[in-house]
Chains A and B, each alone.
Chain A
Amino acid sequence: MSLSTLTKPWEAMSYGFLDGSAKRELRRKMLKSVAVPGCQMPYASREVPMARGWGTGGLQVSLTLVNPQTRVKVIDQGADDSVNAASIRRFIARVAGTPTTMDTLEADLIQSRHRIPEEVLRDDQVLVLQVPNPEPLRPVQPNMSIARQMHADADYGRMWLQLYEQIVRSGRVMQGASYPSLVHGRHVMTPSPIPRWDVPKLHMAKHLTILSAGREKRIFAVPPYTRVEPLVFSDVPYKVEDHGNLTCTRSGTTGFFMNEIPQDDSSSAFEVSDSEWGVKTIRAREGEGESRGETWYKDGEMPQ
């Protein structure tokens, strides 16, 4: 008996980096989370060659869902070309042999940090959102055991109280990103730190959204055609960021979520946050043909 008879020949790694049992667990937890929309499912978040907090939750979901034909798009704050997005995209392609794209319309799977693309997603697309803190009750209930019981009881009075307090103290709801939202009329979830602008895109969306927190080991989902309603008082309407009439200084597009670029003269310039939308707009302007799809917002307004 020798070492070579006891071991298999060396292979590069499992397909998609994660071993079979890890992927099986993730698949099961994803199914569970689709079955109970907005409810957080615990999972054994595995080690990936990336630090916790950099999108490990989203990455594990992406690695589990891809096959060699899945076209993958990765964005970070709307940009395909940031270091983090590029690294994750390259890693998935390398361990799973997937084709990649920057075009929202072409992608089968989109992993994103803090944004939902401006173009409408279809029912054959999956959006994977990276979540730093999956527990919307954490600000009002630091004890996670009690928080879970509150979810079980749909005891969300404290969440509303938080909004009440913001209006009392500041005259308006101060919650910017991670706006707590009621999913399917039952569970309150944090939609990950996407801006208020993006939350209505989740409501009755055609696509499946999976939200995964690697450090906190929680996964939850918004299945297609599911109600996602931001918590609002009946007499204080939900307001998205006031970006509807801003124009991108680089592409000239108007009516989308913008990044604010402070200028030397203390004024601000704006650039469209969805970088690929900006690229497509510039291409169209320069006569390279129209490649832009339908958008959620029309003329800076979300149609009801």
Chain B
Amino acid sequence: MTLTLDAPRIVETRPLLEVKAVSKSYGPVQAVRNVSAHAYPGEVLGIVGESGSGKSTLLRMMNLEEIPETGSYTLDLPDVSGNLFELDRFARRMLCATKIGIVYQNPHLGLLMKHSSSGNVAERLLVAGERSFATLRQAATEALDASEFPLDRLDAPPIELSGGMQQRVQLAKAIALEPALLLLDEPTTGLDVSVQALVLDTLKRLQQDRQITMVIVSHDLGVIRTLADRVMVMRRGEVVETGLADQIFQDPQHPYTQQLVHAKL
């Protein structure tokens, strides 16, 4: 048996994100069972697990799209307090628009496919109340540029773009308001391997330049290994193991994690 770890002693900042003891079931299926997670400011938390492990449900809870039956969720940010699961719909929408960005695996979930790409990004700012066309245009251009989207296609609708480009538009939309938290739900799944590498590289670069706290969910260990500082392994709605990314990959403890890591290598 390994040792039980102490509470943090050197790092005194509080976690930016803290989810405590959340449970959610769909009919007889328990999707998430008593799961807790946290992420420190600037940290990248990776959540791995096979489909049905509850990792995406947990991410949707963090985006307040899904409200669990029990548990709490706090973000340590100015003007944000209390259990976020108890916010009303209006407050929830404003919080999500201004503090949280999300990139979905399926761009249809995050984008208006027939609107312009810049418009998709500008929508975020419109929801937050920006009413100057020039400001919207500039902010959209800057966010797309930061996502390494080719600016000559600024106004092309996502439906005309490749999968990798669509993910960049989603990313630009997610970071347009400089969120404190960026959620990524299988952001590169379904892309060609070479495109995948480029998108991951963009994410890595953004993370380093802006020190955004990220939670990334993927069944692809390579993606998690590239991005995550700390990893949480989920299976059947429960957390089986958490640890530093290199430790999880080099010295997995739980039988399931070992199986997962060895299957990959």
Direct contact of A and B (CB under 8 A): yes
Chain A interfacial positions (CB closer than 8 Å to B): 149, 153, 155, 157-158, 160-161, 164-165, 167-169, 233-236
Taking a contact as CB atoms under 8 Å apart, the answer to whether B136 and A164 are in contact is yes
Q: Does B105 contact A (CB under 8 A)?
A: no
Taking a contact as CB atoms under 8 Å apart, the answer to whether A168 and B132 are in contact is no
Taking a contact as CB atoms under 8 Å apart, the answer to whether B134 and A165 are in contact is no
Taking a contact as CB atoms under 8 Å apart, the answer to whether A161 and B93 are in contact is no
Q: Quick one: closest A residue to B124, CB to CB?
A: A157
Proximity string of chain B (110-133) to chain A, C-beta cutoff 8 Å, 1 when within and 0 when not: 001001101100110011000111
Q: Quick one: closest A residue to B123, CB to CB?
A: A161
With known contacts A153-B90, A153-B93, A169-B155, A161–B133 Cβ distance under 8 A: no
B126 CB to closest chain A CB (Å) equals 4
Taking a contact as CB atoms under 8 Å apart, the answer to whether B90 and A168 are in contact is no
For B155, what are the chain A residues with a Cβ–Cβ distance below 8 Å? 168-169
For A236, what are the chain B residues with a Cβ–Cβ distance below 8 Å? 133
B254 CB to closest chain A CB (Å) equals 43
A165 and B115 CA atoms in complex are apart in Å by 7
Q: Which of B90, B93, B127, B133 has the most CB of A within 10 A?
A: B133
Taking a contact as CB atoms under 8 Å apart, the answer to whether A161 and B126 are in contact is yes
B129 CB to closest chain A CB (Å) equals 9
B115 CB to closest chain A CB (Å) equals 6
Taking a contact as CB atoms under 8 Å apart, the answer to whether A161 and B115 are in contact is yes
For B135, what are the chain A residues with a Cβ–Cβ distance below 8 Å? 235
Taking a contact as CB atoms under 8 Å apart, the answer to whether B119 and A164 are in contact is yes
Q: Quick one: closest B residue to A150, CB to CB?
A: B93
Taking a contact as CB atoms under 8 Å apart, the answer to whether A233 and B131 are in contact is yes
A236 and B131 CA atoms in complex are apart in Å by 10
A90 CB to closest chain B CB (Å) equals 46
With known contacts A153-B90, A153-B93, A158-B123, A165–B116 Cβ distance under 8 A: yes
A236 and B90 CA atoms in complex are apart in Å by 28
Taking a contact as CB atoms under 8 Å apart, the answer to whether A161 and B122 are in contact is yes
Q: Which residues 82-126 of B have a CB within 8 angstroms of A?
A: 89-90, 93, 112, 115-116, 118-119, 122-123, 126
B87 CB to closest chain A CB (Å) equals 13
A155 and B136 CA atoms in complex are apart in Å by 18
A222 CB to closest chain B CB (Å) equals 22
For A167, what are the chain B residues with a Cβ–Cβ distance below 8 Å? 133
Of B93, B122, B131, which is within 8 A of A234 by CB?
B131
Can you list 23 A-B contacts with CB-CB less than 8 angstroms, sorted by A residue number? A149-B89, A153-B90, A155-B93, A155-B127, A157-B123, A158-B123, A161-B112, A161-B122, A161-B123, A164-B122, A164-B126, A165-B116, A165-B119, A168-B116, A168-B155, A169-B155, A233-B132, A234-B132, A235-B132, A235-B133, A235-B134, A235-B135, A236-B133
A303 and B112 CA atoms in complex are apart in Å by 39
A117 and B132 CA atoms in complex are apart in Å by 33
Q: Quick one: closest B residue to A231, CB to CB?
A: B131
Of B126, B133, B134, which is within 8 A of A157 by CB?
B126
A52 CB to closest chain B CB (Å) equals 30
Taking a contact as CB atoms under 8 Å apart, the answer to whether B127 and A157 are in contact is yes
